[in-house]
Amino acid sequence: MSAISSEELNLLIEQTYKVEKEFSELRASYMHLQDTVEEVVEFLPNAIWILDKNGDIFLQNSQAKSLGKLFLLLESKKNDYEVTFNTKSYLVKSSSYKEKIMLSATDITEQKRKENLAIMGQMAAHLSHEIRNPIGSISLLSSTLKKRVMPENIAIVEEIQKSVSRIERIIKATLMFSKGVHANKASFMWGELQDALNMSVGYYGYTKEITFIFPEKNFEINADKDLLEMLFSNFLTNAIDAIELDDNESGEVEMVYDRDEKFHKFRIYDSGIMIENTKELFEAFKSTKVKGNGLGLVLSRQIASAHGGSVEFLLGDRKGFEIKLAI
């Protein structure tokens, strides 16, 4: 075997350095590519798992890591299906490339909630239309009956009218929810609205001694009077129901008025029972009351929004709500 010359040795060393440099560059390029893939996977808005041929996790993003127990429910060979986990809904998709399988889980809870609300709204609107005609007949007949019955039976007819009135309120709220709130504004005095609220409260019916304190000041409002009557009536009747469930024999509902350069501000307090689950206060078809339909506060907030304002639950010693209406 012939000896390697110094020139050949130098050439071999140079080739070794060149190969080592190319390997380092290739390794750096691979690491950069891997980092890029991990960043892309991390950037995606859904949970991503990439599995190897044995079904083990090769790569996953932080969302996937936080849903480790959800991963155990997934089927890698099944595509486009929904799974429920921890009260949330997920859309699961899968795809494969060579020996790798990618699973993705997208949170569609809010989308499902909106779809369910739309379906419930459509059904409720249809039922409301169907109920409206017979309720109108009952209302008309009860008014006629009240004029003809013996005096001792008038109270029974009035209870029928109060029940019909409550059903009419529910129908009106349901139809408004399905169609949306649109304000037809005009100027009027607060006293006019307060008279309508007094009449509404008197017609609602309650068994306890309840004191109502309204703002003494009479002021002008540019708004949709009918919508505001519905808004404030919702809070007053909710207050009545809360007081009726309280252990005390009497109660109080107070409405406080203030204003600044931008808003009329109303605060409504009541002495009734506290609200247990405040998270569901403004969720449609979810009521904190036994006999509620879950639309009153939702519509109240929409009515306030249609007037450039808002409705918020007040945290503090007194239970209440603040209603803002743009001036």
pLDDT digits (tens, 9 = 90+) for 54-88: 888 888 888 888 888 888 888 877 888 888 888 88
Which of 122, 149, 180 is at the close of a domain?
Answer: 180
Amino acid at 169: R
Task: Note whether 27 and 145 are same-domain residues.
Answer: no
Which of 160, 180, 200 is at the close of a domain?
Answer: 180
pLDDT of residue 21: 75
pLDDT of residue 232: 93
Please provide the size of the chain in residues. 327
pLDDT of residue 32: 64
Amino acid at 57: I
Task: Note whether 189 and 317 are same-domain residues.
Answer: yes
pLDDT of residue 164: 80
Domain with 139 in it = 112-180
**Cα–Cα dist 244/81, whole Å:** 47
pLDDT digits (tens, 9 = 90+) for 288-300: 555 555 677 888 8
- Could you tell me if 236 and 197 are in contact, meaning their C-beta atoms sit under 8 angstroms apart? yes
Predicted confidence (pLDDT) at residue 190 exceeds the cutoff of 90: yes
Task: Note whether 13 and 2 are same-domain residues.
Answer: yes
- Could you tell me if 321 and 235 are in contact, meaning their C-beta atoms sit under 8 angstroms apart? yes
Average pLDDT over residues 167-187: 75
Number of domains comprising the chain: 4
pLDDT of residue 174: 67
